[in-house]
A and B are shown apart, each in its own frame.
Chain A
Amino acid sequence: MRYFCNVVFNMSSEELEHIYFQYNKRVYNTVLSYVQNIEDAEEITQDVFLEVYRSSENFKGESSLSTWIYRIAINKCLDFIKYKNRKKRFAVISQLFDAQSGELVHDKADFFHPGVKIENKEKSAILFKAIHKLPKNQKNAFILSQLEGLSYAEISEVMQNSIPSVESLLFRAKQNLRKQLGKWYKE
């Protein structure tokens, strides 16, 4: 823990490089699960590491470095989603509909995660669409558990919640996802 404190305080670009290559995959994958778009995920990943560099002095070593980085990543994603939703609302007001299909121009396209098995591509795209509709906390718990493979203890540390509340969030997330999927089932 002390080592991390020393590394992060008054960070140099070399130290950031070390941290970047240690955590870039985890950050990128988490961000990708939230924003479900490769270009946006790259931009936010870049922002996350810039924030790590800029606010390194704020890291007190009370939690692990990975927990701190995960928190920054999740906050950046939620801010980005809020910003996107605002833009979407504006689009609805301005009635920006596609002339041919009549659909919203800013409507969410299917997301195909590059790491999903080919046979699961279609189904995972549906699941990503359902995840997108989950409430914030349930989404956090589900992504960190199912996609990042974090333990309940790690998730509770990142979300600053107790382990039982993480368990309950995950249970409700799965229930809500099944409910949402039911609406999209085609006979």
Chain B
Amino acid sequence: MKSKKDYWKDEVMQSFEGIQQAVPDYSLWIKLENQLKQEPFQIKMVSKLKVWAAAASIIFLLGINIFVLAQNNSNKINKSEILIEAYQLNTNSEIQIP
């Protein structure tokens, strides 16, 4: 058998029955309209994916540039070493008197 407390709980739980929608005041639209007029420009949202894609391409381009520069420098060193070896050049700066 239901207690008084349970009956009361049922009544409270059913107290939203027949509830009518509350109507916002018309002035709310006027306020919103005024706020829209004050918006200097429409804020455009950029998706996270686009931001990450841009960051990844910048890192990729920087990486390629660093790699190419490093390759060029090592090529220069190699060429001079080949020349010294081929012509048996003396790299010692001291002049040898016979």
Taking beta carbons and an 8 Å cutoff, which residues of A are in contact with B? 13, 16-17, 20-21, 24-26, 28-29, 32, 41-42, 45-46, 49-50, 53-55, 57-58, 113-117, 120, 123-124, 126-127, 130, 146-147, 174, 177-178, 181-182, 185, 187
B31 touches A46 (CB 8 A): yes
Secondary structure at chain A's binding surface: helix, strand, loop or mixed? helix
B29 touches A147 (CB 8 A): no
Q: A54-B42, A57-B44 are in contact. Are A123 and B24 (CB under 8 A)?
A: no
The answer to whether the Cβ of B32 comes within 8 Å of any Cβ in the partner chain is yes
Specify the chain B residue showing the minimal Cβ separation from A26: B21
| Interface residue tally for chain B (C-beta within 8 Å) | 30
The answer to whether the Cβ of B13 comes within 8 Å of any Cβ in the partner chain is yes
A123 touches B45 (CB 8 A): no
Contact bitstring B23-61, A, C-beta under 8 A = 1, else 0: 111001101110110010011110000000000000000
Q: Smallest CB–CB gap between B84 and chain A, Å?
A: 64
A50 touches B25 (CB 8 A): no
Specify the chain B residue showing the minimal Cβ separation from A48: B32
Q: Smallest CB–CB gap between A156 and chain B, Å?
A: 21
Q: Smallest CB–CB gap between A24 and chain B, Å?
A: 6
Instruction: Indicate which residue in B4, B24, B36 contacts A13 across the interface (CB closer than 8 Å).
Output: B36
In the bound complex, CA of A121 to CA of B4 (Å)? 20
Q: Smallest CB–CB gap between B39 and chain A, Å?
A: 8
Q: Smallest CB–CB gap between B3 and chain A, Å?
A: 10
The answer to whether the Cβ of B70 comes within 8 Å of any Cβ in the partner chain is no
Instruction: Indicate which residue in B8, B15, B32, B36 contacts A116 across the interface (CB closer than 8 Å).
Output: B15
In the bound complex, CA of A42 to CA of B13 (Å)? 26
B12 touches A42 (CB 8 A): no
4 further interface pairs, Cβ-Cβ under 8 Å (given A25-B24, A116-B19): A46-B31, A53-B36, A57-B45, A185-B9
